[in-house]
Amino acid sequence: MTKDFLEHITFNKRSVLHQYHMFQRAIPILDSFDSSNNYDLNQVIELSNIVQIVKSIDCPTNITPEKFNEYRKETDAISRFVSSYFQQLDLSDIENIFQSIWTYYSLDLLKLLERFDLLKNIPNSGVQNLLNKKLIPLFCILECKGWVKKYNQVITDYMMDNKDAAEIIIKYYLVKDFAEKESIVFPKVLTEEKKISVLNYYVDGAFEPHPNYLELIENAPIIPGLNIDDRLRLKAKKAKEKYWEKHFSERSSFSYGCIASFKEIDEEKNESYNETDHHVYCTYSKKWVREHHDFPTLLNNFIFLFGFFDSELRCQFVLKKKSIIDELLAESEGIKHYPIRSQFTKNRMIYYKILSTYKEELENYGICIEDLFDYFFGDYLKENFGISDFEFKKPSKSVSLSERIKLLYIEMDGILKQLKYYMEDGCVDKELVAISSNPVRIGELKSFLKQKYAYVKGESLKKEMRFLFSFNLLFGMNFAWSGYNSLVEIIAKEHLFITDFAEQARVWIKWLIERGALLLEADNSLGIDIDRCSLLYNLYENEVVCFAHQKGKQKEILKELVEKEEVEVESTIFSRQERDYYNFVLNKKEFSNSLDLRNTFLHGSFFGSEEELQQAYIETLKVFIMIVVKVNEEFCLKYFGK
């Protein structure tokens, strides 16, 4: 049997690769199994896990089907041995039993005791002691329906003033997909009222609550089974602020920032990152603005100077896929939450600094950002496309900033209505706009193009991208791969063959060759299909590609993926990511942690500081900039095909 602490065999029902890996380590145990051996409890649990593994996998490539069938037959004898062992297990000292097992076997032991109907031999006091002495994790016992049913009151009493209990309740009800992934059950006597009581105890800080969980409570949506009222939300908000105030004052922490400025430099811009102070420095040319402050150029600066949009005119304000750091930190994403990840927060700060600085620079020429919107809808559309239907009323410079933001949201509603009717009718009926009382949902705005955006749909394509652009298959290599971030990178830079990969990884390498992402060169070394991998990397990083911006072979590959229904197509002005960002800023219809700026300012319920008011103004301008650029893209693609 395995002896080392880290070599115990576990069964992970969610990971097939893990099961195959564990099976290879189980082979010597299967070969040497003898029911007459004097196995200890840890070894018996390990045998039980091996049985589950063998029954879950298909025959690996490194053994014959005949040998694998022998192992499967052997598991019947092992199962009988495990059952016999547990029937003879003395449970009089249940604490000592749980103290003797490997920590990661707690859940396995709980399930085995339940499976063999041994809970009748364990008194309430024994379970109470196991919980109080933390010999079994609360989460593990909640995964066992039989334990929860039998020790209903014991578990409930333990949960009433327990930090772990509060965090489990929070995750179960408020963390995205948690309830679907984790098969936990709560005691019946733990009523909704008692769950709220547990959360109040948690927020009140009998032990230091985690700020991420406090934020989930603060922004909790209305959900059945856990009615979190406004008082508890406010209490959680204050507790979160208190936590950060305390921890930032107690010790220095990693900080980052952005310094944006306009200076007398020859180049249009100079952007750099300082590793000492962790600041991004964005310096732009005063000369450039001085010599090019015509409105079309000032609008184009959002794209070409500041990089608010990429080469496919995808807005960069939006949330991008999880970074490696986000995965490692395991940030909690709440139900109906806009998942504010680390890179999104950094980018939001950078764009705030850049736009604030640009606004100040334009003021030197008597220009405000709203003047650019006024020019776009009033003059630019008419001059370039012959469209004079749109009307934008620029807020007066004399009104307060709060009133200006309010007026901008009123104009935004009007612009989206005008845009909707223009896309539907080819013109804007002002009377129709005036009589319409409902705001336009941004998802209603259809594109001129029948195929505007493509998103990954098929599971095979998702798997292909994951294997190509992540660490997954690098763990299956027969040599050190440090310094490389993905399979594509190492194949592009090293002269590799299929045999350089472990047996199980070779199956996936051959599959990637069949998919067309990898190639076999003349000497049978591995190569990559540049066009396919470039397109898939674009999809992997951005989660959306624009049909009109694809060229040559990559466009043909995209069409093939559409025909095979591996990607799905939408014909909307704004991508899904852009629509989500819009809703995050404006309202709480989609996201309970939304900034809710539109409703806040239209209803006169903003009570923030002057700094928060400035932030709200810049966020509002960013959304308007996104609308202007995407509208311009639509008309350019319709009339000029570019």
Tell me whether residue 32 is in a domain: no
Rounded CA-CA distance 202/165 in Å is: 9
Give the relative orientation of helices 610-639 and 576-586 as an angle to the nearest 10 degrees: 150
Task: Please indicate, yes or no, whether residues 218 and 316 belong to a single structural domain of this protein.
Answer: no
Task: Please indicate, yes or no, whether residues 247 and 311 belong to a single structural domain of this protein.
Answer: no
Task: Please indicate, yes or no, whether residues 299 and 392 belong to a single structural domain of this protein.
Answer: yes
- Identify the domain boundary among 229, 253, 277: 253
Q: What is the DSSP letter of 319?
A: P
Strands (E), 377-484: 453-456
Q: Residue 377 above 80 pLDDT?
A: yes
Domain count, the chain: 3
- Largest Cα separation within the chain, whole Å, is 92
**451-480 exposure pattern, b = at least 16 Cβ within 10 A, e = fewer:** ebbbebbeeebeebbebbbbebbbebbeee
31: buried, middle or exposed (CB in 10 Å: 19+, 13-18, 0-12)?
exposed
Rounded CA-CA distance 184/82 in Å is: 25
Tell me whether residue 53 is in a domain: no
Task: Please indicate, yes or no, whether residues 301 and 435 belong to a single structural domain of this protein.
Answer: yes
Q: What is the pLDDT of residue 41?
A: 96
Tell me whether residue 79 is in a domain: no
Extract the tokens encoding 537: 């990397």
Q: What is the pLDDT of residue 1?
A: 38
Task: Kindly indicate the confidence band of residue 328, based on its pLDDT and cuts at 50, 70 and 90.
Answer: very low
Give the relative orientation of helices 211-218 and 163-174 as an angle to the nearest 10 degrees: 50
What is the extent of the structural domain holding 415? 259-445+577-582+610-639
Q: Residue 419 above 60 pLDDT?
A: yes
Rounded CA-CA distance 142/127 in Å is: 13
Quick: pLDDT tens for 426-454: 999 999 999 988 889 999 999 999 999 99
Task: Please indicate, yes or no, whether residues 412 and 473 belong to a single structural domain of this protein.
Answer: no
Q: What is the pLDDT of residue 48?
A: 96
Least confident of 104-113, 173-182, 380-389: 173-182
Q: Residue 184 above 50 pLDDT?
A: yes
Report the predicted TM-score, pTM, of the whole model to 2 decimal places: 0.80
Q: Residues 199, 218: contact at Cβ < 8 Å?
A: no
As a whole number, mean pLDDT of residues 536-547 equals 96
Tell me whether residue 560 is in a domain: yes
Task: Please indicate, yes or no, whether residues 399 and 288 belong to a single structural domain of this protein.
Answer: yes
Task: Please indicate, yes or no, whether residues 181 and 245 belong to a single structural domain of this protein.
Answer: yes
Task: Please indicate, yes or no, whether residues 314 and 401 belong to a single structural domain of this protein.
Answer: yes
Q: Is pLDDT larger for residue 641 or for residue 585?
A: 585
Q: What is the pLDDT of residue 4?
A: 44
Task: Please indicate, yes or no, whether residues 264 and 380 belong to a single structural domain of this protein.
Answer: yes
Task: Please indicate, yes or no, whether residues 327 and 287 belong to a single structural domain of this protein.
Answer: yes
Rounded CA-CA distance 108/112 in Å is: 6
Task: Please indicate, yes or no, whether residues 463 and 500 belong to a single structural domain of this protein.
Answer: yes
Q: What is the pLDDT of residue 329?
A: 47
Q: Residue 257 above 80 pLDDT?
A: yes
Q: Which helix (H) or strand (E) holds 279?
A: strand 279-285
Residue among 130, 65, 132 nearest 93 (CA): 130
Quick: pLDDT tens for 196-245: 999 999 999 777 899 999 999 999 988 889 999 999 999 999 999 888 88
Task: Kindly indicate the confidence band of residue 322, based on its pLDDT and cuts at 50, 70 and 90.
Answer: low
In DSSP terms, 194 is beta-bridged to none
Tell me whether residue 128 is in a domain: no
Rounded CA-CA distance 572/34 in Å is: 66
Extract the tokens encoding 20: 């195959």
Tell me whether residue 497 is in a domain: yes
Tell me whether residue 17 is in a domain: no
- Identify the domain boundary among 513, 547, 570: 570
Task: Please indicate, yes or no, whether residues 240 and 369 belong to a single structural domain of this protein.
Answer: no
Tell me whether residue 386 is in a domain: yes
Quick: pLDDT tens for 582-637: 999 999 999 999 999 999 999 998 999 999 999 999 999 999 999 999 999 999 99
Task: Kindly indicate the confidence band of residue 14, based on its pLDDT and cuts at 50, 70 and 90.
Answer: confident
- Identify the domain boundary among 546, 570, 594: 570
Beta strands across the sheet bearing 269-274: 257-263, 279-285, 269-274
Quick: pLDDT tens for 21-31: 899 999 999 99
Neighbours of 109 (CB within 10 A): 22
Averaged confidence pLDDT in the chain: 91
List % helix, strand, coil for the chain (3-state, nearest 5).
Answer: 60, 5, 35
Q: Residue 397 above 80 pLDDT?
A: yes
Q: What is the pLDDT of residue 3?
A: 43
